[in-house]
């Protein structure tokens, strides 16, 4: 990124937060006025019918009132909810929700025992035909179409296998993948800190949380010793570049689950309270990090039951944090794209009299190529500017008119946001 015009301009990359004064122009880490970003990323497992799926969607989006990230199965051998189940109601609902952004993740190619490469094109052709775009892939249990490196032994990126599909899948628009890698450290895209391990201890669940903490310490030590399976602990990145076994490059992201008995137990609706507790949200704001929560909202989904009281309370608290401008709550696709676009934004700034001109040149994506973004891709991008100054944002020599000047945030700095 070019920063010659005004010294100190820079993007706060992980582990390289640059010093600043009130006279600098700087790309803000999160949209104004937020201090952190979070999404609840739910796998579709055990949401077996369209009625169950719509109940989850209505409760989270309408009753609670927050966006989240939901997924879909393309296929299901047992005839459960899936894009190609043969039921027009399943198909039309899934397509409509993908177009509307309320489904943004493909959950492997679903549950299909005889899955092979020939099953790939019908899925993407159906999506293309109806103007649907999906950029986020999440592995599913032991599906043969998985990409998992360490546990599920996926075959999806092995060209010699009948299940190989990743060339077609990337060509169809997948940019971000999740395999099986989880962290229980609160807040990614910030430097690793041992204090993040200490908060795993929970006096109310002393023994289980101690074991959980000990396992985490062991993984972190292994990461510093060079074990690639756990390298994300050392870097604490939300997203890193990953080379598939067929040689292609994609972005791999990490999901979060800090349940005291482990993610395999704490991945249900009733356990969600623990993953988004006030303790977790407070820490997330403190470190100013990203968080993509791993769960299955359809598992043990019973929002009216007494056992769900803690989860409902935690969700309402997350809604308050979002409304108060503390935590930027969006879908996984939005969070991942925002992180990558800000990370690789190419921009400069110069001053003309008392006006600061921020010139956005391109997004220099190292994997999928440089491009001039559509203005809609830059929505919520925020730049710090000196107090009392005026500013304009220029994209490819044309001024972006939809901007707003923000009052000082918690840091005391004024900013301008693309709206």
Whether residue 92 is predicted with pLDDT greater than 70 in this model: the reply is yes
- The helix (run of H) or strand (run of E) holding residue 291 is strand 290-295
Site of tokens 């972006």: 400
Looking at residue 37, what is its pLDDT? 98
Q: For residues 21 and 118, what is the distance between their CA atoms, to the nearest angstrom?
A: 58
Whether residue 91 is predicted with pLDDT greater than 50 in this model: the reply is yes
In the predicted model, what is the mean pLDDT of residues 45-65? Answer: 98
Task: Tell me the C-alpha to C-alpha distance, in Å, between residue 32 and each of 10, 232, 324, 358, 394.
Answer: 17, 28, 11, 17, 19
> Which positions ≥6 away from 374 have C-beta within 8 Å?
none
Whether residue 410 is predicted with pLDDT greater than 50 in this model: the reply is yes
Q: For residues 388 and 415, what is the distance between their CA atoms, to the nearest angstrom?
A: 10
Whether residue 105 is predicted with pLDDT greater than 50 in this model: the reply is yes
Lowest mean pLDDT, pick from 85-99, 208-222, 277-291: 208-222
Looking at residue 151, what is its pLDDT? 55
If pLDDT is split at 50, 70 and 90, which confidence band does 152 have?
A: low
Looking at residue 337, what is its pLDDT? 98
Whether residue 36 is predicted with pLDDT greater than 80 in this model: the reply is yes
Looking at residue 353, what is its pLDDT? 84
Lowest mean pLDDT, pick from 12-26, 236-250, 288-302: 12-26
Whether residue 23 is predicted with pLDDT greater than 90 in this model: the reply is no
Whether residue 233 is predicted with pLDDT greater than 80 in this model: the reply is yes
> Which positions ≥6 away from 130 have C-beta within 8 Å?
95, 99
Whether residue 42 is predicted with pLDDT greater than 60 in this model: the reply is yes
Looking at residue 24, what is its pLDDT? 83
If pLDDT is split at 50, 70 and 90, which confidence band does 11 have?
A: very low
Whether residue 306 is predicted with pLDDT greater than 60 in this model: the reply is yes
Strand partners of residue 415: 384, 406
In the predicted model, what is the mean pLDDT of residues 33-52? Answer: 98
CATH of domain 36-335: 3.20.20.370
Whether residue 310 is predicted with pLDDT greater than 90 in this model: the reply is yes
Looking at residue 417, what is its pLDDT? 98
Average pLDDT, whole number, for the chain? 92
User: Could you report the per-residue pLDDT of 353-395, keeping only the tens digit for each?
Assistant: 889 999 999 999 999 999 999 999 999 999 999 998 999 999 9
Looking at residue 1, what is its pLDDT? 29
Full DSSP string of 98-157: HHHTS--EEETTEE-TT--GGGHHHHHHHHHHTT----EEE--TT-TT---SSSS---TT
Q: Identify the CA nearest to 334 among candidates 290, 276, 393, 300.
A: 290
If pLDDT is split at 50, 70 and 90, which confidence band does 150 have?
A: low
If pLDDT is split at 50, 70 and 90, which confidence band does 149 have?
A: low
User: Domain segments of the chain: what residues?
Assistant: 26-30+345-418, 36-335
């Amino acid at each position: 990124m070019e920063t010659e015009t005004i010294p100190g301009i820079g993007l706060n990359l992980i582990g390289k937060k640059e010093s600043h004064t009130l006279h600098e122009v700087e790309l803000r880490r999160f949209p104004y006025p937020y201090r952190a970003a979070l999404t609840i990323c739910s796998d579709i497992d055990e949401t077996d019918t369209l009625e169950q799926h719509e109940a989850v969607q209505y409760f989270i989006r309408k009753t609670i009132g927050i966006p989240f990230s939901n997924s879909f199965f393309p296929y299901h051998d047992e005839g459960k909810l899936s894009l190609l189940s043969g039921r027009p109601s399943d198909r039309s609902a899934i397509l409509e929700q993908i177009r509307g952004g309320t489904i943004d993740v493909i959950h492997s190619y679903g549950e299909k025992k005889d899955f092979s490469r020939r099953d790939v094109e019908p899925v993407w052709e159906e999506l293309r035909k109806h103007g649907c775009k999906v950029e986020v892939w999440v592995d599913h249990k032991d599906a043969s179409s998985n990409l998992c490196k360490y546990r599920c032994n996926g075959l999806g990126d092995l060209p010699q296998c009948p299940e190989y599909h990743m060339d077609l899948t990337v060509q169809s628009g997948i940019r971000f993948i999740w395999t099986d890698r989880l962290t229980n450290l609160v807040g990614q895209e910030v430097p690793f800190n041992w204090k993040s391990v200490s908060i795993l201890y929970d006096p109310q669940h002393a023994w289980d949380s101690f074991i959980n903490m000990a396992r985490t310490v062991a993984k972190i030590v292994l990461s510093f010793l060079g074990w690639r399976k756990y390298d994300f602990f050392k870097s604490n990145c939300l997203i890193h570049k990953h080379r598939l076994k067929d040689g292609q490059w994609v972005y791999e992201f990490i999901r979060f689950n800090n349940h005291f008995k482990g993610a395999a137990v704490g991945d249900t609706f009733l356990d969600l309270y623990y993953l988004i507790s006030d303790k977790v949200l407070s820490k997330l704001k403190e470190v100013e990090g990203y968080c993509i929560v791993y769960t299955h909202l359809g598992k043990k989904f019973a929002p009216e039951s007494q056992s769900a009281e803690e989860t409902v309370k935690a969700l309402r608290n997350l809604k308050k944090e979002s409304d108060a401008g503390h935590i930027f709550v969006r879908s996984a696709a939005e969070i991942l794209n925002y992180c990558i676009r800000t990370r690789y934004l190419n921009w400069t700034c110069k001053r003309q009299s008392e006006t600061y001109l921020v010139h956005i040149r391109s997004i220099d994506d190292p994997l999928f190529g440089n491009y001039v973004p559509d203005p809609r891709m830059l929505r919520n991008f925020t730049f710090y500017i000196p107090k009392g100054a005026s500013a304009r944002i220029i994209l490819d020599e044309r001024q972006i008119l939809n901007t707003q000047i923000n009052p000082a945030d918690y840091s005391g700095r004024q900013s301008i946001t693309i709206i």
